[in-house]
């Protein structure tokens, strides 16, 4: 059912939702950007629709709500273990189509990849999604070629036009709250983009032979293995474990899982001093082929959703979209070298 609200009315709806959920949306963090006097757009709790940033892509994704950057799993003493409490409330997350497609990737990894992750599931079961439409493409987006520019897998869709809030609601449990505050019912059709300036083409005939291409060598020197591309990516899911021992009693502490990055030193170090991917080019190769080759072999669709955040954030101006587009030449190069 579609509804129209004035902003005050919709803020009443948010207050109603806040009884059961923490509501998260992309917000402006003043002077929080990488350069002086620039803002950062990232996820935070909101109380009013005015706090939501619609006119910029968020620098970081919604991922940090479902998979906190640092999450305590349990506490331990010498002879007891106590599980960390689950969040008291569920979460409502405002996000765009590419990011809602990214949720499907997170679910595939944490719920359908050989058993369910207990901590992910206990939060995921209480999360609802509100889609934010895109009337135009942002810089570096390539969602259309990744087929993530559209979705109807939302609980509600929201957009603001001429100072009014328009909502298409799919969640029966929310009907009463919406109906009580709306000024009128209205047909609301989600906005989505049909083209991006940034285009990618993923070659169908790719095989793992492409790992032997010289294209990866370029990244040995260009990439500085900072890991920023992984941290902004809504589909990067790796973490590491940390046991923290408290200073006042060294036998008591907590176990946390903390985001990890396949681009930084230490990620592939193993016992005995081994390291599987020492060079930055090897790490780039792993990341690119995981996002647009081997994940698809297992799941039937690509891991990358084309949000372009990795291109936005890279301090070395390395374009992930360009890396994808270079694969076609890399395939030819390895075939020629193999005399195929």
Residues that bind ligand SF4 (CB under 6 A): 223-229, 232-235, 263, 291, 304-310, 313-316, 318, 320
Beta carbon of residue 32, minimum distance to ligand SF4 (angstroms, whole number): 18
Between CA 244 and CA 227 the distance in angstroms is 23
If the CB atoms of residues 291 and 326 are measured against ligand SF4, the closer one turns out to be 291
Beta carbon of residue 323, minimum distance to ligand SF4 (angstroms, whole number): 9
Taking alpha carbons only, the member of 262, 259, 257 closest to residue 241 is 257
Work out the angle at residue 231's Cα, subtended by the Cα atoms of residues 227 and 236, and round it to the nearest 5 degrees.
105
Beta carbon of residue 263, minimum distance to ligand SF4 (angstroms, whole number): 4
Residues 6+ apart with CB under 8 A from 113: none
In the numeric block, which tokens belong to residue 160? 């603001």
Beta carbon of residue 276, minimum distance to ligand SF4 (angstroms, whole number): 17
Beta carbon of residue 111, minimum distance to ligand SF4 (angstroms, whole number): 19
If the CB atoms of residues 32 and 315 are measured against ligand SF4, the closer one turns out to be 315
If the CB atoms of residues 82 and 214 are measured against ligand SF4, the closer one turns out to be 214
Beta carbon of residue 242, minimum distance to ligand SF4 (angstroms, whole number): 21
The DSSP code sequence of 117-172 is -HHHHHHHTTEEEEEE--SSPPTT--TTTTT-S-----SEEEEEETTEEEEEE--G
Please report which residue ranges of 22-154 form alpha helices under DSSP H.
63-66, 97-111, 118-124
If the CB atoms of residues 180 and 224 are measured against ligand SF4, the closer one turns out to be 224
If the CB atoms of residues 133 and 234 are measured against ligand SF4, the closer one turns out to be 234
Beta carbon of residue 148, minimum distance to ligand SF4 (angstroms, whole number): 9
* CA-atom Rg of the chain in angstroms: 22
Between CA 137 and CA 126 the distance in angstroms is 30
If the CB atoms of residues 17 and 260 are measured against ligand SF4, the closer one turns out to be 260
Alpha carbon 27 to its chain's center:
16
Beta carbon of residue 56, minimum distance to ligand SF4 (angstroms, whole number): 16
Beta carbon of residue 241, minimum distance to ligand SF4 (angstroms, whole number): 22
If the CB atoms of residues 229 and 330 are measured against ligand SF4, the closer one turns out to be 229
Taking alpha carbons only, the member of 194, 201, 213, 181 closest to residue 325 is 201
Residue 269: CB atoms within 10 A of its CB come to 13
If the CB atoms of residues 176 and 224 are measured against ligand SF4, the closer one turns out to be 224
If the CB atoms of residues 34 and 249 are measured against ligand SF4, the closer one turns out to be 34
Adjacency order of strands within the sheet including 40-45: 40-45, 21-29, 90-96, 127-132, 156-161, 164-169, 2-6, 184-185
Write the Ramachandran bin of 109: left for phi over 0, alpha for psi from -120 to 50, otherwise beta: alpha
**DSSP designation for 84:** P
């Amino acid at each position: 059912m579609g509804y129209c609200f004035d902003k005050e009315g919709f803020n009443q709806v948010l207050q109603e939702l806040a009884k059961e959920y923490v509501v998260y949306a992309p917000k402006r963090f003043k002077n929080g950007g990488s350069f002086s006097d620039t803002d950062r757009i990232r996820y935070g709790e909101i109380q009013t629709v005015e706090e939501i940033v619609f006119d910029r892509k968020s620098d970081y994704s919604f991922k940090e709500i479902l998979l906190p950057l640092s999450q305590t799993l349990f506490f331990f003493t010498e002879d007891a273990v106590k599980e960390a409490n689950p969040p008291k409330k569920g979460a409502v997350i405002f996000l765009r189509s590419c990011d809602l497609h990214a949720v499907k990737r997170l679910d595939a990894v944490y719920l359908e990849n050989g058993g369910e992750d207990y901590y992910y599931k206990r939060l995921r079961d209480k999360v609802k999604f509100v889609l934010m439409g895109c009337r135009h493409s942002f810089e570096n987006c390539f969602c259309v070629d990744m087929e993530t520019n559209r979705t109807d897998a939302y609980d509600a869709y929201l957009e603001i036009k001429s100072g009014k809030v328009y909502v298409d609601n799919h969640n029966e449990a929310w009907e009463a709250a919406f109906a009580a505050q709306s000024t009128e019912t209205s047909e609301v059709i989600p906005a989505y983009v049909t083209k991006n300036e940034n285009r990618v083409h993923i070659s169908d005939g790719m095989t793992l032979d492409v790992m032997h291409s010289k294209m990866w060598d370029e990244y040995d020197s260009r990439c500085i293995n900072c890991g920023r591309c992984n941290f902004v990516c809504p589909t990067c899911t790796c973490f590491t474990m940390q046991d923290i021992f408290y200073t006042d009693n060294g036998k008591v502490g907590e176990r946390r899982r903390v985001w990890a990055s396949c681009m930084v030193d230490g990620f592939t170090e193993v016992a005995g001093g081994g390291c599987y991917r020492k060079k930055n080019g090897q790490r780039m190769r792993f990341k690119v082929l995981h996002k647009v080759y081997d994940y698809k072999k297992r799941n039937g669709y690509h891991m990358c959703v084309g949000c372009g955040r990795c291109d936005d954030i890279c301090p070395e101006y390395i374009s992930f979209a360009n890396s994808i587009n270079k694969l076609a030449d890399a395939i030819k190069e390895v075939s020629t070298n193999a005399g195929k």
